[in-house]
Amino acid sequence: GENVEQHPSTLSVQEGDSAVIKCTYSDSASNYFPWYKQELGKRPQLIIDIRSNVGEKKDQRIAVTLNKTAKHFSLHITETQPEDSAVYFCAAPPIPHPGGTSYGKLTFGQGTILTVHP
């Protein structure tokens, strides 16, 4: 199945700095790459996603870039704030079943603990 590796496992930045988290995936047919944010004790929530037909997507202070050739995608957070502190997960769909669907399944990375110091 799909193998998703996420780095770094922990990231500490000063408020106002940028943060970058990178994920690599193994299945070149993967075409959907979401990022989830999970605050302590809360549910994972989708913050941004990208499909394989674009190389970059931006939403205010967060952006995701995709390099299909190298099979990696990255989350970029600019002008970080203390409320950005959370665990971030990347994900990618596993190899599709015959017929072309993965039934919406996702393989998640191990997570990155981001701490933004005031």
- Selection from 47, 55, 117 nearest residue 89 by Cα: 47
Nearer to another protein by Cβ, of 17 and 59: the residue is 59
In the beta sheet, which residues pair with residue 50? Answer: 33
User: Least distance in Å: CB of 16 to another protein?
Assistant: 29
| 3, 45, 67, 81: which one binds another protein (CB under 8 A) | 45
Interface segment toward another protein; rule CB under 8 A; list 13-21, 37-45, 54-62, 73-81: 37-45
| Number of shown-chain residues binding another protein (CB under 8 A) | 27
Phi, psi of 83 (to 5 degrees): -75, -5
The answer to whether 25 contacts another protein (rule: CB under 8 A) is no
Q: Does 9 bind another protein (CB under 8 A)?
A: yes
Tell me how many degrees the CA angle 62-64-66 measures, rounded to the nearest 5: 170
- Sites for another protein among residues 72-91 (CB under 8 A): 89
Which of 12, 18, 81, 110 touches another protein by CB under 8 A? Answer: 110
Site for another protein contains 26 (CB under 8 A): no
Q: How far is CA 113 from CA 44, 77, 88, 108, 110, in A?
A: 13, 14, 7, 14, 10
| Residue 82 backbone phi and psi in degrees, to 5 | -55, -30
